[in-house]
Structure 1
Amino acid sequence: MSLFGAMNAAISGLSSQSKSLANISNNLANSQTVGYKRIDTNFMDLVTQSSRTANAAGSVVARPDYTNTIQGTITQSDNTLALAISGQGFFSVASQNGTVNGQPTFDDRQFYTRAGDFSLNSDGYMVNSQGYFLQGWPIDATTGEPNRTQLNPIRVSQQVFNPVATSSVELTANLPAGSDSTVTTQVQIYDSLGTAHTATLSFTPVTGSSEWDMSISLPDETTATTRTVRVQFGNAATPATTSGLLGSFASAVGVTPSTSTVTGDPATLTFTTDFGEGAQSITLNLGEIGQSTGLTQYSGTEFSVSNISQNGVPPGSYSGLSIGDNGDVTINYDNGQSRVISRIPVVTFSNPDALQRLDGQAFMRTPESGEARVTQIGSDGAGKLVVGSVEASNVDIATEFSKLIVAQRAYTANTKVVTASDEMLQDTINMSR
């Protein structure tokens, strides 16, 4: 009977509008939740009978319509470790499922999120407010490149940066052609314990020539040693040479005493010192003699050093963490050094709206979503990383209130149909009296 059909259709309408109201309520409740993706409602008609001459009332079904691909507003955060993705993609995160020897263990399943309000926990892991651990590609200490075959929770060690003994010193300077006195410059050299020692380089002009005697002294050496080498600045007829290697200088790489010329290769002089920690070999790179990349001799009386540097560093303590736009997670130390420990990738899907939703703004892959593609930030359709910001919920409160009004009125209208159908059925029953 069509009256029963009308009533059943209205009851399905009540049920569907109730589901719509639940989705709206959930959206409004999470309007301030970081990384939340709203759930819209799609209504689908179910047909009982339909032809050119007859149509029977069917019903309506409410289906959730996920908006995982719709970007929320990116807002700046005071948290320097906060991250947001501008564009498509998700962060790969891990879920803790226990502890062993005081350290967390993780679920074997892979999880994904847009909630990037990360901070360091007490164990040094980057964790968001929902308790998910950010994952990244570990950096190979030898090559400095990320290992893209692994995804591990990012853990920041606050241990001391080990000292590095000086093994190379580079010098670029101009010796004044008009000077008749010794000029000097100094450089800090570090031993294997990270202790700084001052090395003094002195240049004394050789009277009546275009040559200079260069010596290096290290007062902190266990055995005082005099090291001197003569540097000759040539001309078009007589190329520049290093000659008269004296003291304990080893022969320059590619340069033999007094005979060979310095052409395109830099003049490098190697010597050994000892600060009480054992023999330490140091290479002094003088660049190309007579060229702007090395030692030059131009007119004037001023000695100018454009570069003097060395590759040793003292020990350093942890001073902070920084994240680059390319996803590199870098530990910074108070000795001026830094170390990249991980690179954050972005994970994309063919159909992200089909991901399985979980607590805490997390998702899991489903057959309908397609395989997870772990890619470099900003490549192959993946979004860009915005550091120091978070993605807000994509819920618009004004829109949700509009949908709320529509759902309320539709629900009321369906109740009227139920009431009218009931009265009409009652009238039909009364016909037999």
Structure 2
Amino acid sequence: MSVFGAMTTAISGLNAQARALGHISDNLANSQSTGFKRIDTNFVSLVTQSSQTLHAPGAVLARPDYTNSIQGTIEQSENPLSLAIGGQGFFSVALARGSSNGLPSFDERQFYTRAGDFRMNRDGYLVNGADYYLQGWPVDQNGTVDRTMLTPVRVSQQVFNPIATSNIEISANLPAIDPPATPGDARSFSTQVEVYDQLGKRHALTLTFAQTPGSAGPPPVPGPANSWQMSITPPPATGPLDIPITFGPNGTIASFDGTAGAINTPVQLAFDMDFGLGNQSINLDLGRFGVSQGITQQAGSDFSLRTLHQNGVPPGAYSGLAIRENGDIAVNYDNGESRVIARVPLVAFSDPDKLQRLDGQAFMRTIESGEARVTDAATNGVGKLVVGAQEGSNVDIGSEFTKLIVAQRAYTANTRVVTTADEMLQDTINMKR
């Protein structure tokens, strides 16, 4: 009985070492697979009978010991769409199962991966090297993130529609110079701002600030140059404008168009322009009453333009895609604008080593792994995104070769036990001769 037990135990040892060898070969074969997690071997003994006076030979099992929570080396990539996770967490991905109307249809199950070697395919989807589709939270035109659903990220907004100019902000300083005695001596300063109509066509508006002449008496004793006239060219649809602006002793706007406003209230002018498409309403923001903001009149000998901004945008064509560290995926356009279309979240599990393995370095949730927690990167215990990088395999080739040698020796030792047990059984059979 003991000889047979020793033989069966040795055979279980052979099976266990063969499984360990399979784990090692799988690790070595995937040592260069992006995001691959190695499989270690956990040997577990099985006891047939054991007491203070007797121990019968049992067996051994080789169970896989997964290392899904152990990170591989993060390396920089030439692909700007590659993503790596520094710390815990997984990407949520989808798997295509067919097509409908020329676009892929997806498996309803949820898949997860650490393989972030994403690229854009011909349909505008972001897919990794194993053809899993990156999923993200959709973002609407107002920049609001919809965290109630995950969908495959697709770049379909190839054109940025024009935006008509509706607001102009100007910040400049008019020189505090003596007022002219006659209109012929008055100085004026102009600046040009480019605005866009509803079709995205560019137009130039000229803002002119002209001194208001002072009183001329013999001998002329000019006072502070605190009164100017502002005009717009071409004139608005309602007709030419000639708006008086008066500055106070501290060089800030005291009155505008004959009205003295309360301190820190906005100084604005609303007017309509007709560029051949109907009236277009524009608001001109010149700063605030009594505050050194916007248009001022302080020391200097010439006009000084600080900032000039308008909110119109010409039409734009797709020029590239960028992923930000918070997971935002932004489409860049050749008009200098960008639009966020999705945000990539990370998914965490209570026990990621209990996830079910699938082809292509992918995983599925199991009861033992716990529920999937979808959250923003770098929050709630998940790692951070590393853009333009990818995570390599966590396999150490030197360590695998060491385990390979140990497995080989252990396998050989178990074959010796089988051989010895066979010889002992043969001797037992020969006893009756």
Q: Is the TM value for this pair above 0.5?
A: yes
Q: Distance in 2 between matches of 1:94 and 1:312?
A: 38
Q: Which residues in structure 2 correspond to 1:250-289 (within 5 Å)?
A: 258-289=258-289
Q: Distance in 1 between matches of 2:349 and 2:253?
A: 64
Q: In 2 relative to 1, CA 425–239 (structure 1 residues): closer, same or farther, beyond 3 Å?
A: closer
Partner of 1:168: 167
Partner of 2:195: 189
Does residue 398 of structure 1 match 2:398? yes
Q: Which residues in structure 2 correspond to 1:7-406 (within 5 Å)?
A: 7-142=7-142, 144-178=143-177, 180-208=186-214, 210-218=226-234, 225-235=239-249, 240-243=254-257, 258-406=258-406
Residues 218, 224 of structure 1: 8 Å contact kept: no
Unaligned runs of 5+ in 1: 244-257
Residue type at the aligned position of 2:149? Q
1:35 is paired with a residue of what secondary structure? coil
Deviation by residue 1:50-81 (Cα, 9 ceiling, x = unmatched): 00111000000110000000000000100000
Q: Distance in 1 between matches of 2:290 and 2:386?
A: 48
Deviation by residue 1:69-118 (Cα, 9 ceiling, x = unmatched): 00000001000000000000000000001111101110110000000000
Query: How many residues matched?
Result: 416
Q: In 2 relative to 1, CA 392–182 (structure 1 residues): closer, same or farther, beyond 3 Å?
A: same
Residue type at the aligned position of 2:205? A
Q: Distance in 2 between matches of 1:20 and 1:387?
A: 36
Q: In 2 relative to 1, CA 71–196 (structure 1 residues): closer, same or farther, beyond 3 Å?
A: same
Cα deviation for residue 293 of structure 1 reads: 1.5
Partner of 1:255: none
Q: Distance in 2 between matches of 1:355 and 1:4?
A: 39
Cα deviation for residue 202 of structure 1 reads: 0.3
Bigger mean CA deviation after superposition, 336-345 or 261-270: 261-270
2:208 is paired with a residue of what secondary structure? strand
Cα deviation for residue 177 of structure 1 reads: 1.4
Deviation by residue 1:296-346 (Cα, 9 ceiling, x = unmatched): 111321100111110001000111000110000000001010000000000
Residue type at the aligned position of 1:202? T
Q: In 2 relative to 1, CA 139–11 (structure 1 residues): closer, same or farther, beyond 3 Å?
A: same
After TM superposition, the score normalised by the length of structure 1 is 0.94
Deviation by residue 1:284-304 (Cα, 9 ceiling, x = unmatched): 000114532111111321100
Residue type at the aligned position of 2:209? F
Q: Distance in 2 between matches of 1:423 and 1:363?
A: 48
Q: In 2 relative to 1, CA 224–268 (structure 1 residues): closer, same or farther, beyond 3 Å?
A: closer
Bigger mean CA deviation after superposition, 345-354 or 154-163: 154-163
Residues 290, 297 of structure 1: 8 Å contact kept: no
Q: Distance in 2 between matches of 1:141 and 1:182?
A: 43
Residues 201, 214 of structure 1: 8 Å contact kept: yes
Cα deviation for residue 355 of structure 1 reads: 0.4
Q: In 2 relative to 1, CA 412–228 (structure 1 residues): closer, same or farther, beyond 3 Å?
A: same
Q: Distance in 2 between matches of 1:204 and 1:126?
A: 57
Cα deviation for residue 225 of structure 1 reads: 3.7
Q: Distance in 2 between matches of 1:108 and 1:158?
A: 25
Q: Distance in 2 between matches of 1:103 and 1:292?
A: 57
Residue type at the aligned position of 2:283? T
Residues 253, 295 of structure 2: 8 Å contact kept: no
Partner of 1:250: none
Cα deviation for residue 235 of structure 1 reads: 3.2
How many percent identity over aligned positions?
61
Cα deviation for residue 227 of structure 1 reads: 1.5
Bigger mean CA deviation after superposition, 419-428 or 288-297: 288-297
